[in-house]
């Protein structure tokens, strides 16, 4: 098992063809509170992953959960970060997956091009550690705001498509009503 990434909430390990996401303990929290929070967040993330996967959203397939060790085991998507290869076409593909997630009443809460992987010209969204089941339009708006700020700051040459993307989003919601 090889450590491949370390974030604020978890360590990500590669174990052959699987990713193991282990939520790490925070020493500044009371032990019982820390354990309860990590368990809650691990369960919620796994439940969201399973729900999205079952609804044909392109994400790594969730395989198992281990609440004793606060781990989620999922499929390893061998690809490249969207951030490194983004184009207009891939930007729109990513956005269509975001629309799909929102239509299922899930907010990601960290929609950046670092949290998407390209494999065989498909986009897989990753890192649902901050995600929530959420039907509030305000929270979906915050999700989109973070997305557009990421594009503006990291991929400014593509920010010119913001209005077109917003129109695509609005069209989706008009069709459902």
> Annotated catalytic, 110?
yes
Largest Cα separation within the chain, whole Å, is 48
**Distance from first CA to last CA of the chain, Å, rounded?**
48
d(CA 117, CA 96): 14
Q: What is the 3-state secondary structure (H, E, C) of 99-134?
A: HHHHHCCEECCCCCHHHEEEECCEEEECCCCCCEEC
Backbone angles phi, psi at 155, to 5 degrees: -140, 55
Q: Do 74 and 128 meet the contact criterion of CB atoms below 8 Å apart?
A: no
d(CA 109, CA 174): 23
Q: Which residue among the candidates 15, 17, 110, 127 is catalytic per the annotation?
A: 110
Token pair belonging to 121: 């010209």
What is the three-class DSSP state of 61? Answer: coil
Residues with catalytic function? 110
């Amino acid at each position: 098992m090889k450590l491949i990434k370390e974030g604020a909430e978890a360590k990500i390990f590669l174990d052959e063809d699987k990713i193991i996401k282990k939520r790490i303990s925070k020493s500044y929290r009371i032990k019982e509170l820390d354990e309860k929070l990590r368990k809650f967040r691990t369960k919620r993330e796994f439940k969201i992953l399973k729900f999205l996967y079952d609804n044909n959203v392109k994400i790594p397939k969730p395989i198992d959960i281990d609440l004793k060790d606060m781990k989620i085991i999922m499929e390893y998507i061998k690809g490249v970060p969207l951030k490194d290869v983004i184009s207009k076409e891939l930007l729109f593909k990513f956005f269509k997956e975001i629309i799909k997630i929102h239509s299922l009443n899930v907010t990601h809460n960290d929609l950046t091009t670092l949290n998407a992987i390209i494999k065989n010209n498909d986009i897989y969204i990753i890192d649902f550690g901050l995600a929530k089941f959420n039907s509030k339009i305000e929270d979906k708006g915050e999700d989109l705001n973070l997305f557009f700020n990421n594009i503006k700051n990291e991929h400014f040459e593509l920010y010119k498509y913001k209005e077109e993307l917003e129109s695509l989003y609005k069209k989706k919601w008009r069709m459902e009503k």
